[in-house]
Amino acid sequence: MSALIFFFTFALIAVGAAVGMLFSRNAIYAALLLIVNFASVAFLYLSLGAPFIALAQVTVYAGAIMVLFLFVIMLLGAERLPPSQELPWQRPLGIVLAFLLLIEAVYGIVFRVNSAATLSLPVVEFATPAEIGSALFSTYLLPFEITSVLLLVAVVGAIVLTRAEGGARRRALVSQITQAVATEVPEHKAETPEEEKELV
């Protein structure tokens, strides 16, 4: 019974936060609500015998990814979202999708055959960080290496896409940022793209 209460508490928080994010008019609020959602899902992971994943969820998702989101929102000054004009087909499509969701939820809870299966934590230790680690470095060594390649792509990609060079408008933006960052106005004005990069 207590397990059910635990589940519904965090499930409701997660869904509520997701709905809030969906309709939030403020990007910062949306990001914070998404963090609430991730955190409550992390609690559910703990109840599912996945302590390692739960902590990774908090550190990677809530800690790293969402901080990056907040950083970019504030960098762009895009906190306030203008009331968006909806395309004509969006609302009907949304209603249809929501209806499908409802049908699926009813189907799943009422009619699903093996829904009787319940989850209980195994008696023996399951998915301890040590076990995860040994699986990660034996059976799953290869995909682990592929993720390192993926992170390499991400690191270099992010640098390549955001490095500042060329273009009059971009130069103006760069000098704006430079002035905002530096307390004193830089002694020498940027003449070439390369110098700008150093300034930034």
- Within 19-38, the residues that bind other proteins by CB under 8 A are 19, 21-22, 24, 27, 30-31, 34, 37-38
Quote the tokens at residue 73. Answer: 């929102």
Using the rule CB under 8 A, which residue among 9, 72, 74, 192 binds other proteins?
Answer: 72
Whichever of 118 and 183 has its CB closer to other proteins, that residue is: 118
Report the alpha-carbon distance of residue 199 to residue 175 in Å, rounded: 9
Burial of 37 from C-beta contacts in 10 A (0-12 / 13-18 / 19+): buried
**Quick one: CA dihedral 92, 94, 98, 104, positive or negative?**
positive
Q: Which of residues 175-194 bind other proteins (CB under 8 A)?
A: 193
Task: Write down the least CB distance from residue 198 to other proteins, Å.
Answer: 15
Interaction of residue 88 with other proteins, rule CB under 8 A: no
Could you tell me how far CA 72 lies from the centroid of its own chain? Answer: 13
Interaction of residue 156 with other proteins, rule CB under 8 A: yes
Task: Write down the least CB distance from residue 179 to other proteins, Å.
Answer: 16
Using the rule CB under 8 A, which residue among 123, 162, 168, 180 binds other proteins?
Answer: 162
Interaction of residue 160 with other proteins, rule CB under 8 A: yes
Return all residues near 20 (Cβ < 8 A) that are at least 6 apart.
29, 30, 33
Task: Write down the least CB distance from residue 140 to other proteins, Å.
Answer: 5
Could you tell me how far CA 200 lies from the centroid of its own chain? Answer: 27
Whichever of 115 and 189 has its CB closer to other proteins, that residue is: 115
Interaction of residue 97 with other proteins, rule CB under 8 A: yes
Task: Write down the least CB distance from residue 83 to other proteins, Å.
Answer: 10
**Quick one: CA dihedral 188, 71, 52, 55, positive or negative?**
positive
- Radius of gyration of the chain from Cα atoms? 24
Task: Write down the least CB distance from residue 188 to other proteins, Å.
Answer: 22
